[in-house]
A and B are shown apart, each in its own frame.
Chain A
Amino acid sequence: MAAEELPSEFDVVILGTGLPESVVAAACSRVGQRVLHLDRRSYYAANWASFTFNGLLSWIQQYQEEPQPKEVQDWSSLLDEGEELVYLSNPDSASISNLQVFCFTSEEDEEEAQSSDLPNPTEEKAVNEDTDVKPSADSNEEATTEKQETVGGAEEEQVTPTEGEEQDTDKPHLSTAQSQLEPTRKRITYAHLVKEGRRFNIDLVSKLMYSRGSLVDLLIKSNVSRYAEFKNVTRILTYRNGNVEQVPCSRADVFASRQLSVVEKRKLMRFLTSCMEETEEHQAYSGRPYLEFLCDQKLGDNLQHFLLHSIAMVTEDTPIEEGLAATRHFLRSLGRYGNTPFLFPLYGLGEIPQCFCRMCAVFGGIYCLRHSVDCLVVDKDTNRCKAVIDNRGQRISCSHFVVEDSYVGKKAAAPRRLLSRAVLITDGSVLPSDSDQQVSMVTIPPVAARYPVVKMVELCPSTMTCIPGTYLVHLTCQSAGSAYEDLAPVVTRCFHTPDSPDQENRPSVLWCVYFNMVDGSGVELEGHGLPSNVYVCSGLDSTLGHEYAIRQAELIFQKILPEEDFCPPAPNPEDIIYDGENPSTPAGEEDEDGAGEEGKREQSQTQE
């Protein structure tokens, strides 16, 4: 399809559709700026995206392929006097690394697996690394590795009985102990996951929204909340002494808790009440670890664990100021929407950037996916970016340019921190309860020395992120080693996997992926040797909330438009006047239909 010419003049051009970029786009568009929002990828939300199961498999495949060196085109012919080109770096695939995929559930059909393509070499390596310690037969490993290659293949045509009782031959790679496990439990097969794959919404990042955090405040303030629905996280859990326990944090929880004695209940409630205000006692501990303060409160091991790991979610050496601030943030958010401080968006976190994109589009922002910027046109005298040149050689002038940090890439050469991520599809909750629709936040203190603190979010099917009968589990921590090295010990402790065959009472992992992501927190907004009107959005950060991304978006917005209000409430549709000059739906309206829904991908393709 012939490329449709884009308008050649914008106020703000934004490259990358992650959360901060999308918020900036919405904020600018809302106050009347002409916004062009691009992403080289075929999907919205960059590393903040959510994928269907099959979408995730494609994404994995894409990162496992060798990145093709992109030839740099010379656009200097488009330059005027006194201008120079600054090339953006190749979008680096290094933002995702150490991808490792494991499937512990059976193929539906052995032949199907054998007919599939040969395993990709990098992947086989990854799996073999794992299987070295796995007491299972070679032929079974093949089944495990091969099935991942069915990704782009014929699985769509498979007619698979979705809930068929599994035959013994279907799970040859399972250890003996596992195969004896609950013969009545209907195992969900890999083929079933693939068949139902589009009902998954698997987030690349795992975060939760604090009920009184800046993201929720912004969604409310700007009326962007109307584009999404949310669910309460229903319980806070923690892993302790080899068990998963519920953390009583709200008044109702404390009342109902069976693990706490009445005296502990009182102590906990009193501590939670007293720490909301700064006291002289707190000041006396200034600079010393929060843990020390907790110890001196004589709360007992139970409460100390809950307060440090689950409520403040800090480490043993966190200073008291930070610990108290985190505790207060948690407590302030409690009770606004329910018994925990957290919300989770239905259909996954990838919805949130899309909601802001939609807001941007409603106010006239123009969206193109699979569309990138090759280089900036910089005025040599002022060192300002006058225009950008897209990957088709169109020169688009702009006053401001906002870009995701991966396009700036190597120039910010500081040694980057990484996040370790794991995504598991399991067949049960880590803490079964009366209701099977629990959304749980699980804090896991270091399982052994030198291991990181792990945050785990377990999503139930009613969050619209996984299929009935499964749970979607996200694990996140700051990397000490590769994602697998960091997180596999936690997975084997909390779940039943071939590595932990004795934990039959734990939920089984059906499928999982490990990967590392770049922790972008700490990347400067400006600088990087770039013109002064170019702003860099650092990607993800390791915290649980969204404070970092929202603060960053607000800062960028304030630099672009220091006089303007950040995301004022959007008017109701009936208060919008459509001018006679443009009687048909405004340009933004068309995009609006696309953004936030599946259709947007097709639509953006047509733009190419």
Chain B
Amino acid sequence: MHGRIKIKSTAQQEEEKRKEREKKLKIYVSARDTCFSKRKEGILDEEALQVTQQLLSSNPDFATLWNYRREILMHLETVKEKDEVQKIYEAELAFLESCLKLNPKSYGSWHHRCWVSARLPRPDWSRELSLCDRCLSLDDRNFHCWDYRRMVVKVSGVPVAQELGFTDRLIGSNFSNYSSWHYRSTLLPLLHPESPESPSPSHEPPQPSPSHSPQTQSHRVCEEQLLKEYELVQNAFFTDPNDQSAWFYYRWLLGRAEREEMISCVYVSRDEERVAVAFSRPVNAQSVSLLLVLDGQPQKVEWKSVHPRFKHSPVCICDLPPGTISDITNEHNLTVHWTEKYTHRDCALYTGRTESWCRDSATDQELFRSELSVEKTSVLQSELQSCNQLLELEPLNKWCLLTIVLLMRALDPLGYEKETLAHFQTLKEVDPMRSAYYSDLCSKFIIENTVLKMEYAEVRVFSITDKNLTTLCHLDQLLLVTHINLSSNQLQQLPPQFAMLQCLEVLEVDNNRIENLEGVYHLPKLEEVLLKNNKISALADLQPLASCPKLRRLDLRGNPVTQAANIESELTALLPSVTDLLL
């Protein structure tokens, strides 16, 4: 009576599916073979175009076929009329759209689309842009599409403001999106460049033009816009403080200005007849274009890094020809030119002096702080307040804690020292997975503060004891230090950068975990090394000390190496200059 419905059984359905699949496979394989043989024979006709289309529409990730297709298209370009070519390429774009529907993250399809768009005689960029809009609304993290969009924007000169509006929309719908935030960070400096009267560290003229690659621009943004961005990003991290994309963007906003490229210090030593030059950023000692002028005469010298382990270093040294400045009764005037940067620094070595230097101190440059105007400092102060507000609500949020630390550094590194250290303690507790990272960062800040204190005191003694230091950094700032005390920390090594301490005479690193002395290398003035209670276990680890000609006192008590047989005689052989050896 009723037409009862019967449904195919699962077995029936699967059998059908299997047959279907087999059929498809057969077609696919034969089409593939056709393509390969055609390509081998060098046939570039429209039939091949059709067959490859058939294959690619089921498998858009077949790179060889895309290549073949490009060969055919390039051939057709030479034999067809311009209008026909336009039609062919438009069809190609339509076909690509269907491929992207199949796999929106297909490398082959996106690459081919770039290629086609570039060759299209009359490209329709607005259409391409709306394709990107559509794709990104479906998946706002499709990086293929982001890449393509950047290409389209660049070629078609889409106004920067329009693109910024686009990121507004995407961030509005979901702010957990690095791509959008990052895109913003490249657009803002173009649209709202830092006003020219404020000290622009890189002397590039701001030219907001859409085709201008952001990389060559200053990365700074004018203050008015910065304030708006702070507000935007605060909304994001108050809404979801565990989402890191907003915090990363925030850090970019707070980022300090780039430092001017300059020679920060020139040091000359009469005894070693050596010149050391410190730069504001690491340079390649071999290729940096430096000119040393001594008493008006250009000198031919060989610049080298302080340690063979690294080519790039913020400190370069050179040895003057023997006898050039060794006479203590002579006065010498030295100028180092950094020719490619059009900058130089003078240094005078007066009669009766064994050494001399000329430099900008870290305190003069506010080296470890942001370069900020007074207004900006007040802005940072209010940013710190908001973050503290958030911390009250979320006392265990690591991003908030870390950002507060950074803000405090930017505002007043010495004034906030105590609070900073307390926050680091909390950070290590709430985020134990990254406790080593926090220890290193904390070490860095402690070193920065100590450098500042040392320079305010105008001494050449650097001392950080019992502060749980895990790493050493900013060693270029210690070029002039003669006495360093790092006892009772958690240091495991004296890294190659340690060789920048060209003036060092006394090194105290008792009670650490040092296994490696690589950085104690060719330190011309080093006399004493105190290494009590460390982890030096092999004689070979002490090898670098042999390169320090003036070493006379070495304390190795409490190191495993002292247990070795014949250690004393071997050490005497290795370090003949040492007269005072404690084992």
For window 533-583 of A, CB contacts with B under 8 Å fall at 571, 575-579, 582
Closest Cβ of chain B to A11, distance in Å, is 10
Task: Confirm or deny: A480 has a beta carbon within 8 angstroms of a beta carbon on chain B.
Answer: no
> Which residue in chain B gives the minimum CB-CB distance to A258?
B235
Contact indicator B239/A254 (Cβ below 8 Å) = yes
What residues of B have a CB within 8 angstroms of the CB of A282 in the complex? none
Main secondary structure of the interface of A (DSSP, over half): helix
Contact indicator A252/B390 (Cβ below 8 Å) = no
Provide the B231-255 mask, 1 if CB < 8 A to any CB of A, else 0.
Answer: 0001110111100000000000000
Known contacts A251-B239, A262-B235, A262-B386; A34/B5 CB under 8 A: no
Taking a contact as CB atoms closer than 8 A, the residue among A255, A571, A585, A589 that contacts B239 in the complex is A255
Task: Confirm or deny: A363 has a beta carbon within 8 angstroms of a beta carbon on chain B.
Answer: yes
What residues of A have a CB within 8 angstroms of the CB of B389 in the complex? 262-263
> Which residue in chain A gives the minimum CB-CB distance to B386?
A262
> Which residue in chain A gives the minimum CB-CB distance to B236?
A255
Stretch at the interface among B126-134, B169-177, B410-418: B169-177
Contact indicator B175/A255 (Cβ below 8 Å) = yes
What residues of B have a CB within 8 angstroms of the CB of A267 in the complex? 393
Closest Cβ of chain A to B19, distance in Å, is 14
CA distance A524 to B160 in the complex (A): 65
Contact indicator A265/B238 (Cβ below 8 Å) = yes
Known contacts A262-B386, A575-B7; A252/B393 CB under 8 A: no
Contact indicator A577/B238 (Cβ below 8 Å) = no
Contact indicator A266/B175 (Cβ below 8 Å) = no
Closest Cβ of chain B to A27, distance in Å, is 15
CA distance A315 to B172 in the complex (A): 32
CA distance A281 to B258 in the complex (A): 50
Provide the B140-175 mask, 1 if CB < 8 A to any CB of A, else 0.
Answer: 000000000000000000000000000000001111
CA distance A582 to B1 in the complex (A): 9
Contact indicator B6/A576 (Cβ below 8 Å) = yes
Contact indicator B7/A576 (Cβ below 8 Å) = yes
Max chain A Cβ within 10 angstroms of own Cβ: one of B238, B241, B394:
B238
Known contacts A252-B173, A263-B393; A364/B2 CB under 8 A: yes
Contact indicator B393/A586 (Cβ below 8 Å) = no
Task: Confirm or deny: A270 has a beta carbon within 8 angstroms of a beta carbon on chain B.
Answer: yes
Closest Cβ of chain B to A258, distance in Å, is 9
Contact indicator B1/A577 (Cβ below 8 Å) = no
Contact indicator B13/A575 (Cβ below 8 Å) = yes
What residues of A have a CB within 8 angstroms of the CB of B8 in the complex? 571, 575-577
For window 356-395 of B, CB contacts with A under 8 Å fall at 386, 389-390, 393-394
What number of A residues sit within 8 Å (CB to CB) of B?
Answer: 31
Contact indicator B4/A255 (Cβ below 8 Å) = no
What residues of A have a CB within 8 angstroms of the CB of B7 in the complex? 571, 575-577
Contact indicator A588/B238 (Cβ below 8 Å) = no
Contact indicator B172/A255 (Cβ below 8 Å) = yes
CA distance A364 to B390 in the complex (A): 62
What residues of B have a CB within 8 angstroms of the CB of A78 in the complex? none
CA distance A18 to B13 in the complex (A): 36
Provide the B200-239 mask, 1 if CB < 8 A to any CB of A, else 0.
Answer: 0000000000000000000000000000000000111011
Task: Confirm or deny: A269 has a beta carbon within 8 angstroms of a beta carbon on chain B.
Answer: yes
Task: Confirm or deny: A152 has a beta carbon within 8 angstroms of a beta carbon on chain B.
Answer: no
What residues of B have a CB within 8 angstroms of the CB of A586 in the complex? 2-5
> Which residue in chain A gives the minimum CB-CB distance to B246?
A255
Closest Cβ of chain B to A4, distance in Å, is 14
Task: Confirm or deny: A7 has a beta carbon within 8 angstroms of a beta carbon on chain B.
Answer: yes
What residues of B have a CB within 8 angstroms of the CB of A270 in the complex? 393-394
- Some 15 contacts from A to B, beta carbons below 8 A apart, are A7-B2, A251-B240, A255-B175, A255-B235, A255-B236, A262-B235, A262-B386, A263-B390, A266-B238, A266-B241, A269-B240, A576-B5, A576-B6, A576-B7, A585-B3
Q: Which residues of B contact A (CB under 8 A)?
A: 1-8, 13, 172-175, 234-236, 238-241, 386, 389-390, 393-394
Q: Which residues of A contact B (CB under 8 A)?
A: 7, 32, 34, 251-252, 254-256, 262-263, 265-267, 269-270, 362-364, 366, 571, 575-579, 582, 585-589
